[in-house]
Structure 1
Amino acid sequence: MLASIQQGLGGVGTAIDALSEQYPVLYSYVSMDYFQKSIFDAVEHLQVARRLYNSNVSLYNQKLVMFPYSIIAGIHGMSKADFYQVEENKKEYKVNFD
């Protein structure tokens, strides 16, 4: 879910700036400013969530190699978790206001 939200909001800020350059009247409205701030806040929250997730993955992976956790992890078939990384193609997102 985090990945799909990240994909949807990844390039929205850039698209908004490009749109505002094409339509200067649109930029003057307060709603446009509010929309830009909302997108920025959403992106910030996603970055915080990604850092928290990666921090927890790091702690989990460290515990897997420590005694006695390594024995318990081996018995239950637990393996290292992957860190969350945004794919480059998901950072590009176009907003269409048509």
Structure 2
Amino acid sequence: MTGVSVALYLFLAFGLLLKAAKYAFGPVSASHHRAALERDGAPLTPNLVVLLRAIYIPMSAAIADFAVLLAALAVVPIAAGEQWASMAATGAEPLGF
């Protein structure tokens, strides 16, 4: 059972790293942000692109940090059967995001 938990936590960490990479290296205006701006009638000006990039970079770093934390918890203490690590990993995501 511990092996399944470790695999699922690592799968989640990998997905979070992909999400972080999307915001770090993807287009500056994500599709849902672009749709919201168009719906409100706000043009995507160069200043707004800089502002969105300034928001995306720290957000992607925070998501990547959480993914690394989750992977580290999965590989060492969760794999060793430590119960506190499972509770920390399960409770960290809702509290962090």
Bigger fraction of residues in helix: 2
Pick the structure with greater CA Rg. 1
Instruction: Give TM-score scaled by structure 2 length.
Output: 0.42
Instruction: Give TM-score scaled by structure 1 length.
Output: 0.42
